[in-house]
Amino acid sequence: MTATHADESAARALIVRTARSLFMRGLTHGSTGNLSVRLSDGSLLLTSTGSSLGTVEEAQLSRTDLSGRHLDGPRPTKEAFLHAAFYRARPGAHAVVHLHSTHAAAVSCLDDVNPADALPPLTAYYAMRVGTLPLLPYHAPGDNALEPLAEQTARTHHAVLLANHGPVIAGATLEQAADAIEELEETAKLHLLLRGHTPRPLTPEQAAALAPTSP
């Protein structure tokens, strides 16, 4: 699969394969989480509202334009506006993943999180795949009042954490976005395991040397 996901049929298969992998490995649950790719014509292929990533089928995917307008297929996820905001902000992004993964969601509920960077760079792979992680203030799921802030933040960060909710990550490909969000979840788990201890994260210089390039 190329970065442009030009083949819609292949893109549909990739979304379903990735969705089921994320679900089966416990990175999301129930009907939570949503995935999308940007097709070569500029439209977005997304999981639909109410669908479970564990059972979603290719025919159940939705298509919207970059403004979030529904083009065809079932009704898209109510968080389609978040995907559209990331794509508008990041022309090099061709995939977006949003999950309610347990440890990242737990971090998003903590009162002492740094809103400019919700997780420390505990590992080199986190620094490479995620970098800094702004925490966006709480909005109810589907509240499109979050859209302008998400778009503004996505211009400078390919990953964000939604307060009391979960992470959103854009990537050049769906594989890259899924790898990055999994790395974020594992780092959130490490962060919680280390609470009460004195961690030794990467130095700012070490983290900067590994910072991801912009998709």
Instruction: Indicate which residues carry an active-site annotation.
Output: 79, 125
Residues linked to residue 38 through DSSP beta bridges, in sequence order: 44
Cα Rg of the chain (Å, integer): 16
Cα–Cα distance measured from residue 36 to residue 66, given in angstroms and rounded to the nearest whole number: 12
Task: Provide the 3-class DSSP secondary structure of residue 166.
Answer: strand
The enclosing H or E element of 192 equals helix 174-193
The residues near 123 (Cβ < 8 Å, ≥ 6 apart) are 183, 187, 190, 202
Is the distance from CB of 160 to CB of 134 less than 8 angstroms?
yes
Count the alpha carbons within 13 Å of 123 in the hemisphere toward its beta carbon: 14
